[in-house]
Chain A
Amino acid sequence: MTEPHFEREVDRSHMKVSDEVAIRIENMNKWYGAFHVLRDINLTVNQGERIVIAGPSGSGKSTMIRCINRLEEHQAGKIIVDGTELSSDLKNIDKVRSEVGMVFQHFNLFPHLTILENCTLAPIWVRKIPKKEAIETAMYFLEKVKIPDQAHKYPGQLSGGQQQRVAIARSLCMKPRIMLFDEPTSALDPEMIKEVLDTMIELAEEGMTMLCVTHEMGFAQAVANRVIFMDQGQIVEQNNPHDFFHNPQSERTKLFLSQILGH
C-alpha cells in the first residue's frame, strides 16, 4: 500500500480542538422513499475539529453532511448544530444555515452576479451588514483565496479552481463557525485541485471546524484529526489519520484503502 502524502508543510500551531461541541448527531436515520440511505448515524464534532469523510460512492457521505445544514431532511434522530436542533422550524434552519458554510462539488456560484456580488449578497441580505463593510470583508477573503483581481468578473469567466476558491470565499464572508465541503475537488483538473486544497489547508491552519467529504487522502493525512469511513449508509470506522491509513480495522476499510491507494 502506498503511503498517502502531501507535499506542503502544514502549520499545526493553531489547530486546536476545544471541548465545545459544534455538531452532535444522535441516532440519525434517513430514507429516500423505501431506501434506507443513512442508518443510525452517531457523530459528535467538537469546535476546531477537521474531519474527513471517505467512502465509496453511494455510501451516504454527501447526504450525511447535507443533513447538517438541512439541504436534506432526516426522518429520525437528532441533529444539533451549535446548540440549535434542526427540526422543521424554519427559523432554526435559517439560523443554522447562516452559521454553517458549505462548498459544493460544482461550486454553485451565482452566474448572474459578479464575484464580489456573489460574496456580499448573503452578508448584506441575511446578516444585514452595511454594503461598504460587506465589500471590505469580501475583498479580504478574496485576497485570502488569492483572486482579488477577479472581483468584478463573472463566474463564467473564471477557471474551475478559481470558481471553487470564490465559493470558499463566499462561504467565509458569512463568518461561519463550521465549514462543510462536499467533494470540493472532484470536478477539477489535477492542477486546480492543488490550489483549492491549499486554500482549504490554510483554513484548517486557522482553526476552522471542517467536515470534508473528499477522496484526497493526502489532504486527510495532512490536515484531518479524524477520518470517518462510511459504507452503505453507516459509519464503519473512524480513527485518527495515522491509524486509519496504517492500521485499518474493518475488512471493508482495508478493501477501500487498497483500491484507492493501491496503484
Chain B
Amino acid sequence: MSEQNTSSVAYVRDTMLPQQPAPSNQTGALKWMRENLFSGWLNTVLTLAGIGLVYWLVTHFYPWFAHSVWDANSLKECREIVTTAYGADATGACWGVIRERWHQFMFGFYDPALYWRPLLTFGLLLVVIGPILFTENQRNRAAFMVFGGLFALVSMALVGTSAAILALSAGIMAATGALIFGRFAYAMLAAAAFPLVAIFLLWGGSAWTVLFIGFGFVIGWLLLSGFARMGSIIAVVAAIVGTILFWLISGGAFGTDHLFGGQSLVEALASAVPLSIEAQGSDRFGGFLLAVTIGVGGIAMSLPMGVVLALGRQSNMFLIKSLSVIFIEFIRGVPLITLLFVASLLLNYFLPPGTQFDIILRVMILVTMFSAAYIAEVVRGGLAALPRGQYEAADALGLDYWRAQRLIILPQALKISIPGIVSTFIGMFKDTTLVVFVGLFDPLKGIPDFIRSVFEWKGIYWEPFVFVGLIFFIFNFSMSRYSMYLENRLKRDHR
C-alpha cells in the first residue's frame, strides 16, 4: 500500500480490496461500555457515582412503594397496617386515599350520577381530533379513535353508567367516528362544533344557549363570505359586528326582552321547549376535569391566536405590529398568577354590575392569552428561520399574502416550531394548577387540601402528589411523543 507514496508518483490499483469485518474489540456491548461508561478515569468515577446514587434512591424509595396499602379508610389505619406487617420503623405508601377519593381528583364536586358526561366529552374529544392528529396514517388514526371511544366507554361503565346511556354514547361516538374517519373536511367541521357540544355536556342546562352561540358563528361565517367581495377588512368587521349583535339580541339586549315578556329570546325558547339536561355549575368543577377543560380550551384557542400574533408582529402595518408587540411583551412580562387575579377580581370592576361571567371561562381566556403570547414568539422563531427565497418564490408566483402564509410559509414555520409549541402547551397544561389561587379546585393543591381537611386524611402528602404527578406525566408525555411523531412524519429532507 505504501508504494504509492514512496516509489513512484504514478500509481494504478490493479486489484480492488474486498470488505472486511471490523476488529472484534471494536463491536458489541463491551465496546459500547468502554466508550460510553469507562472511557477515562473521570468517566469511570462518574459512572460508579451514578450507580451508587441510583442504588441509594432505589433502596430508600422501594420499601415505601413495596409497603403500599390500598385497603384503608384513613391515614391512621394505613399506619397501623404498615406497622403490624413490617415493624414499627417501616414506612409505606397509603394509596387508600386515592381509592376512596379518586372521584374528587378526577371530577371535583361533579354530581356522581353525571360522571358519564365529562367522560363522554373526553371520548368525543379523542374521536374528533383523531383525523386531525393522524392525517396520513390510517391505522394510527383508527387505533387512536377506537382507543379514545373505548377508554371513555369502559370508564363510564366503571363509574356505574346505565346501559341505555352507555349504548347512546357508544352510538354517538361510533357515528361521529364513522362520519369523519375518511373525510378531513368533516373532521374539521366536527372539531369546530365540538366546543359547543362539550360546553353543553359539561355544564348542562338548556341546549338553546349553546345552539344560539353556534348560530352566531354560522351567521358570522355567512356575513364573512357574503361581504367577501367588498374587501377582506369590511367582511371581517361585518362578521364580527353581526355575530355580536346577534348574541346580544338573542340574549335580550336593546330592550328585545320586552318582546318575550321580560325574557330574552333564548330564555323564552328554553321555557317553551326546554331541551335541557341537568345543569352543573362551574363551582362543581375540580380536579382533572377542571385542568383538562382549561388546558384543552387554552391549547385549542392559543395556537390560532399565537399564530395571528406572530404574523401581526411581522406585519408591515405599523398599527397591527405595535398592537401585537405590546400585547406579547405585556403578557409575557406579567406572571400568570397576576392574570388569574385579574380574571377573578379585577374583571368584576370593569364589567357592568350583575354580569354573570363564568369564572372558568374567564380563567380560560386569560390562560389562552398567556400561552398565545409565548406561542407567538415560538412561531416568530419559525418564521424567521425560513429563507427569504420562500417568501419571494411565493410572491413571484402571484400568491397573495394570506395564501402565501397558509400554503407556503406557515406549514414550514409551524413545522420548525413544533418542539417549542408543544413545550408551551405542556407548560400551560401544568400551569392550570395555578387556578387554585383564585379559589378553584385544581388537582394538585385544591383537591388534596380539601381532602386533607377531613380528619381521616389529615397529614397525607406524598400519595396525592405522586398520583396527580403520574396523571400529568401521562398527559404531557403523550403530547411530547406525539410531537416527535409529527416532526418525524413531516420530515422531507432525507427519505
Contacts and interface: CB of A to CB of B under 8 A. Distances in A.
A156 B389 contact: no
A110 interface: yes
Interface in B365-392: 387, 389-390, 392
A174 B389 contact: no
A126 B408 CA distance: 13
Interface string B389-407: 1101111111110010001
B492 interface: yes
B396 A121 contact: no
Given A111-B493, A156-B492, A71 B395 contact: yes
Given A125-B403, A154-B492, A174 B393 contact: no
Contact of B408 (A102, A110, A157): A110
A102 B393 CA distance: 8
A100 B392 CA distance: 13
Contact of A69 (B389, B396, B415): B396
Nearest to A104: B389
A125 B390 contact: no
Interface stretch (A90-98, A129-137, A194-202): A90-98
B407 to A, nearest CB: 6
Nearest to A96: B398
Given A111-B412, A112-B490, A126 B398 contact: yes
Nearest to A180: B396
Contacts of B412: 110-112
B397 A97 contact: yes
A95 B398 CA distance: 7
A122 B396 CA distance: 10
A107 B493 CA distance: 16
B393 A109 contact: yes
A16 interface: no
B407 A121 contact: yes
A104 B392 contact: yes
B493 A110 contact: no
Contacts of B415: 112
A221 B393 CA distance: 29
A106 interface: yes
Nearest to A66: B392
A157 B492 CA distance: 9
Contacts of B52: none
B493 A125 contact: no
Contact of A122 (B398, B490, B492): B398
A108 interface: yes
Contact of B397 (A121, A155, A156, A157): A121
Of B389, B390, B392, B415, most buried by chain A (CB within 10 Å of CB) is B392
A125 B389 contact: no
Contacts of B493: 111, 154, 156
Nearest to A110: B408
B403 A112 contact: no
B390 A110 contact: yes
B229 interface: no
A97 B393 contact: no
A157 to B, nearest CB: 8
Contacts of A71: 392, 395-396
B398 A110 contact: no
B492 A112 contact: yes
Nearest to B397: A122
Of B394, B397, B415, most buried by chain A (CB within 10 Å of CB) is B397
Contacts of A174: 397-398
A167 B211 CA distance: 50
Contacts of B390: 108, 110
A122 B389 contact: no
Interface in A179-223: none
Nearest to A72: B392
Given A110-B408, A111-B492, A94 B389 contact: no
Nearest to A127: B398
Interface in B452-495: 490, 492-495
Of B396, B408, B411, B412, most buried by chain A (CB within 10 Å of CB) is B396
Nearest to A111: B492
A108 B399 CA distance: 15
Given A94-B398, A125-B403, A108 B490 contact: no
B397 A126 contact: yes
B285 to A, nearest CB: 41
Interface in B207-250: none
A121 B397 CA distance: 9
Contacts of A122: 397-399
Nearest to A101: B396
Contact of A110 (B393, B400, B403): B393
A70 B392 CA distance: 10
A112 B411 contact: yes
Interface in A156-190: 156-157, 170-171, 174
Contacts of A121: 397, 399, 407-408
B392 A156 contact: no
Nearest to A103: B396
A154 B403 CA distance: 21
A67 to B, nearest CB: 13
A156 B398 contact: no
Contacts of B490: 112
B413 to A, nearest CB: 10
A170 B495 CA distance: 23
Contacts of B408: 110, 121
A90 B494 CA distance: 38
Interface in A49-79: 69-71
A125 B407 contact: yes
Interface string B13-28: 0000000000000000
A94 B402 CA distance: 13
A98 B395 CA distance: 9
B399 A126 contact: yes
Instruction: Give me the 6 closest cross-chain CB pairs, A-B, nearest first.
Output: A98-B398, A108-B393, A108-B389, A122-B397, A97-B398, A102-B396
Given A71-B396, A106-B389, A122-B398, 4 more contacts: A69-B395, A104-B393, A106-B387, A110-B412
29 contacts: A69-B395, A71-B392, A94-B398, A97-B395, A97-B397, A98-B398, A104-B389, A104-B392, A108-B387, A108-B392, A109-B393, A110-B393, A110-B394, A110-B412, A112-B492, A121-B397, A121-B399, A121-B407, A121-B408, A122-B397, A125-B407, A126-B398, A126-B399, A154-B492, A154-B493, A156-B494, A157-B494, A170-B397, A174-B397
